[in-house]
Structure 1
Amino acid sequence: MHSGRLTQDKSLEALKSANTPDALSVVRELDAPDGADAPRVPGGEIVTEELTVQVVPQAADEFTCHSCFLVRHRSQMAREHDGHQYCQECEG
């Protein structure tokens, strides 16, 4: 019965001496920047520049379709129901 105990002790010593990472090294590795966090374009290249988009408010002659949520010119309105406007594409 002692041989089972010796094998168990040897296994325990092997685990203790194994090169396992400590909690701090795991946290550092997870916090380290890598290429997976960078934005990518469809071709797979990493994009390092930010894009700037100018937001233009909806004009008086435009409406937002309640179905597709696209901003359309009033000439493209098919109907208005309960205060909601719908474009010709969604109604067609």
Structure 2
Amino acid sequence: MATDYDELRSDVAESQNTSLRAVQSANAPDARSVVRELEEADAFEGSELPGGEFIAEELTFAVIPQKDDEFTCYSCFLVRHRSQLAHERDGRAYCVECEG
């Protein structure tokens, strides 16, 4: 007797039907309620919420220029010491970590 191996087994088919019924009966929100909740959340954006206060303070910090014994890796864009230089090609320097 020939067996069709592409046909779903009865226990797998029943499992799929059960899963489908469970998803269909779940209380999923409809699109309108999701949009309404997002709009309500946007309405609160300007008000003061705990932990969401605005700080009107400007951050200032000193920028230290690159030293003569440092280079900027063209791959990871980190400033590294010359001892970590793997190679330089077409004026672009690459660190040991990016080439390793």
The normalised TM-score by structure 2 is 0.46
The normalised TM-score by structure 1 is 0.49
